[in-house]
């Protein structure tokens, strides 16, 4: 696992503000800025930031890129936020994505993306 706040600083400037249209985060490739909605909880902030770091690493352009790019960003985020050991331990105890996510201090979509990484062998 990495510290996503330190990792973000390596790739882009991070700004928090009220984002339009229900967006939780966005990456502006032209200005190299990751935007996070100021109303996010700490867990949301970490997860969304990890997702946006992937967009910054790959210099993705445009809001809501294609499905492949979004899946790649989700899977990159999952690999940043979870370790194999802590995931395997929690999975033995909890039986669904919501409780597993709560235990691992991430959002359910991170657990789903991590499972995809396990399936694809990219962990």
Site of tokens 């935007």: 35
Q: Residue 113, Cβ neighbours under 10 Å: how many?
A: 25
Q: Which of 29, 37, 116 lies closest to 77, judged by CA?
A: 116
The CATH code that applies to domain 4-120 is 3.30.2010
pLDDT at 65: 67
d(Cα 51, Cα 32) in Å, to the nearest integer?
A: 15
Rounded to 5 degrees, what are φ and ψ at 84?
-60, -40
pTM for this model (two decimals): 0.94
User: 16-72 pLDDT, tens per residue?
Assistant: 999 999 999 999 999 999 999 999 999 999 999 999 999 999 999 876 668 899 999
Query: Looking at the chain, how many residues does it have?
Result: 123
Strands 25-28 and 33-37, sheet pairing: antiparallel
């Amino acid at each position: 696992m990495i510290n996503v706040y330190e990792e973000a600083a390596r790739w882009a400037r991070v700004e928090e503000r009220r984002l339009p249209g229900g967006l939780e985060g966005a990456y502006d490739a032209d200005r190299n800025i990751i935007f996070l909605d100021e109303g996010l909880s700490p867990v949301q902030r970490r997860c969304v930031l990890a997702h946006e770091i992937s967009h910054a690493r790959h210099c993705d352009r445009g809001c809501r890129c294609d499905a492949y790019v979004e899946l790649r960003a989700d899977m990159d985020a999952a690999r940043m936020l979870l370790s194999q050991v802590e995931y395997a331990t929690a999975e033995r105890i909890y039986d669904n994505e919501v409780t597993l996510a709560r235990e691992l201090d991430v959002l359910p979509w991170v657990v789903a993306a991590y499972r995809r990484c396990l399936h694809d062998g990219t962990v």
